[in-house]
């Protein structure tokens, strides 16, 4: 946890401790750049690197070392993560154990994925301005089909059966829905206006058991927040609305799987996966921050990956740790880079990962 120096019994400086796990593929390119952006702000943080990922797994079979999660929770204030996924690890077991391991074992139940359009040129939709895309998806992060409950029977035979259970607990559903209403109450939009709507998205017309629980809990919790407008959409209809008119969204709360899917769709509104940031949060506990994108094997190691998703994730982490000013400076730097087209190819520029990140670092240091 935070180190504290004392002088005459008075605390003079608290440095936050950050665990850095770049992981695989482009994670190893973008995360060091995000770390350098943080350093350029002068924020009082220390970094400790961890080599958890495919290379280590292939080398010695380790995904998470013994007591790894306990160590992260005990010794660090936050965790900055890249991505996991490597074509050499077909089972994806290391991603499951490290990434989903952190989310599940550290109980990081709120996956916060802000969706913001920095410049109209980045949005594939016609006539959509930055003010039109400013919502957040709050994804339940510890339950659902991601628990991987189920099994395969009679594998390889004509009678093969595969089941994948969708686990939804009242506690799990209630805490993420409550988180959404509290988030709405305590956060403003980028233009400073208050957030006012929470929309719950499910598929309760087909998945009646789990959907029924979400519906009941949403009704109960929303009644405690009469000042906030409670809305509902089926996930299929929501996908269509997101493309047709993203202006209507404010705070969206949904389950683990739907949250995964709609946040890639939402990333598309922001300019693509290279622009999307996220936090995996349990209030009051060590939380984990990662860009929404994966390890992108085809572009890995080519200095092509957009580092802005990771850099905006670093800004999110700094704000979470109380470094509001430093966080705002990073966001302003990314916005300026986008405006001046000092960006990578995926969003219409000509810079490499390192060059785009270096521009940000220089902007922050000046």
| Residue 234 annotated to the active site | no
| Residue 146 annotated to the active site | yes
Q: Which of 86, 260, 290, 346 binds Mn ion (CB under 5 A)?
A: 260
Min separation Cβ 291 and ligand IPM, Å: 9
Residues 106-145 that bind ligand NAD (CB under 6 A): none
| C-beta of residue 89 within 8 angstroms of C-beta of residue 14 | no
Token pair of 247 as six digits: 């202006």
According to the binding rule CB under 6 A, does residue 294 interact with ligand NAD? yes
DSSP, res 233:
E
Residues 254-273 that bind ligand NAD (CB under 6 A): 273
| C-beta of residue 77 within 8 angstroms of C-beta of residue 1 | yes
Distance CA 107, CA 241 (A): 31
Distance CA 177, CA 221 (A): 7
- The one segment of 46-54, 126-134, 243-251, 296-304 that binds ligand NAD by CB under 6 A: 296-304
According to the binding rule CB under 6 A, does residue 64 interact with ligand NAD? no
According to the binding rule CB under 6 A, does residue 95 interact with ligand IPM? yes
| C-beta of residue 85 within 8 angstroms of C-beta of residue 293 | no
Min separation Cβ 260 and Mn ion, Å: 4
Q: Which of 86, 132, 260, 331 binds ligand IPM (CB under 6 A)?
A: 260
Residue 97 or 260: the one with the smaller Cβ distance to Mn ion is 260
| Residue 183 annotated to the active site | no
Q: Which of 16, 28, 203, 342 is catalytic?
A: 203
According to the binding rule CB under 6 A, does residue 320 interact with ligand NAD? no
Distance CA 218, CA 231 (A): 9
Q: Which of 146, 166, 179, 250 is catalytic?
A: 146
Collapsing DSSP to helix, strand or coil, 149 comes out as: coil
Nearest to 358 by CA among 114, 40, 72: 40
Q: From the CB of residue 171, how many other CB atoms can be counted at a distance below 10 Å? A: 11
| Residue 148 annotated to the active site | no
Scanning 100-155, the segments in alpha helix (DSSP H) are 101-105
Q: Which of 49, 107, 119, 264 is catalytic?
A: 264
Taking the alpha carbons at both ends of the chain, their separation in whole angstroms is 31
| Residue 260 annotated to the active site | yes
Closest-approach residue to ligand IPM (CB): 260
According to the binding rule CB under 6 A, does residue 97 interact with ligand NAD? no
Total of chain residues touching Mn ion, rule CB under 5 A = 1
| C-beta of residue 63 within 8 angstroms of C-beta of residue 93 | yes
Tokens 């029924």: give the residue: 212
Distance CA 190, CA 174 (A): 27
Min separation Cβ 302 and ligand NAD, Å: 10
Q: State the residues that interact with ligand NAD by CB under 6 A.
A: 26, 83-85, 92, 95, 99, 273-274, 290, 293-299, 305-306, 309, 346
Q: State the residues that interact with ligand IPM by CB under 6 A.
A: 95, 99, 260, 292, 294
Which residues does the annotation mark as catalytic?
146, 203, 236, 260, 264
């Amino acid at each position: 946890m935070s180190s504290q120096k004392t002088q005459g019994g008075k605390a003079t400086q608290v440095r936050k401790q950050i665990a850095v796990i770049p992981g695989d593929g482009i994670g190893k390119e973008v995360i060091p750049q995000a770390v350098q952006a943080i350093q350029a702000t002068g924020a009082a943080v220390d970094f400790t690197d961890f080599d958890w990922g495919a290379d280590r797994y292939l080398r010695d079979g380790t995904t998470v070392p013994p007591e790894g999660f306990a160590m992260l929770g005990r010794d660090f204030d936050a965790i900055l993560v890249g991505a996991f996924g490597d074509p050499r690890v077909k089972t994806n077991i290391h991603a499951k154990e490290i990434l989903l391991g952190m989310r599940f074992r550290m109980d990081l139940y709120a996956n916060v994925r802000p969706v913001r359009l920095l410049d109209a040129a980045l949005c594939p939709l016609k006539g959509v301005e930055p003010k039109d895309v400013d919502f957040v998806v709050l994804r339940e992060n510890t339950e659902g089909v991601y628990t991987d409950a189920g099994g395969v029977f009679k594998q390889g035979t004509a009678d093969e059966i595969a089941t994948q259970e969708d686990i939804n607990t009242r506690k799990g559903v209630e805490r993420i829905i409550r988180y959404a209403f509290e988030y709405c109450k305590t956060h403003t939009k980028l233009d400073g206006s208050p957030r006012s709507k929470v929309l719950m998205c499910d598929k309760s017309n087909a998945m009646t058991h789990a959907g029924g629980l979400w519906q009941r809990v949403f009704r109960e919790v929303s009644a405690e927040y009469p000042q906030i407008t409670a809305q509902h959409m089926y996930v299929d209809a929501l996908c269509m609305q997101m493309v047709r008119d993203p202006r209507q969204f404010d705070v969206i709360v949904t389950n683990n799987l739907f949250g995964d899917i709609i946040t890639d769709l939402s990333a598309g509104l922001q300019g693509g996966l290279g622009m999307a940031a996220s936090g995996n949060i349990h209030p009051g506990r060590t939380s984990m921050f990662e860009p929404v994108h994966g390890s992108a094997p085809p572009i890995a190691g080519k200095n092509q990956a957009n580092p802005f998703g990771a850099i905006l994730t670093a800004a999110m982490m700094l704000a979470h740790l109380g470094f509001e000013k430093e966080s705002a400076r990073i966001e302003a730097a990314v916005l300026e880079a986008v405006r001046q087209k000092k960006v990578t190819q995926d969003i219409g520029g000509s810079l490499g990962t390192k060059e785009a990140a270096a521009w940000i670092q220089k902007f922050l240091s000046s």
